[in-house]
Chain A
Amino acid sequence: MDLNYTEQQNAFRQEVKTWLAANAPAQPLQSFDTAEGFQQHRDWEAKLNEGRWGMVTWPEELGGRACDLIEWLIFEEEYYRARAPLRVNQNGIFLLGPTLMEYGTEEQKARILPKMANGEEVWSQGWSEPNAGSDMAAIRAKAELQGDKYIINGQKTWSTRAVWADWCFGMFRTDPDSERHRGLTFILVPLNTPGITVRPIPQLDGLPGFAEIFFDNVEVSVDNRLGGEGEGWAVAMATAGFERGLMLRSPARFQETARRLVELYRENQASADADPSIKNAVLRAYMDAESYCLTTYQTACRINKGGKIGAESSTNKIFWSELDQAMHATAMSILGARAELLPHAPDAAGVGTWLDGWLFAQSGPIYAGTNEIQRNIIAERMLGMPR
Chain B
Amino acid sequence: MTVRIPDTNPLAMPSLSAAPALALHDVSKRYGRRWALARLTYALPAGRSLLLTGHNGSGKTTLLRLVATALGPTAGKVEVLGHDAVQERDTVRREVGLLSHASFLYEDLTAQQNLVVLARLLGHPSPGDVADTLLTRVGLGRRSDNAVRGFSAGMRKRLAIARLLLKAPRIALLDEPFGELDPAGIHDMEGIIAELKASGVTVVLATHLVEQGLTLCEERLHLQDGRAVAA
A and B: bona fide binding partners: no
Report A's interface with B, CB cutoff 8 A. none
Report B's interface with A, CB cutoff 8 A. none
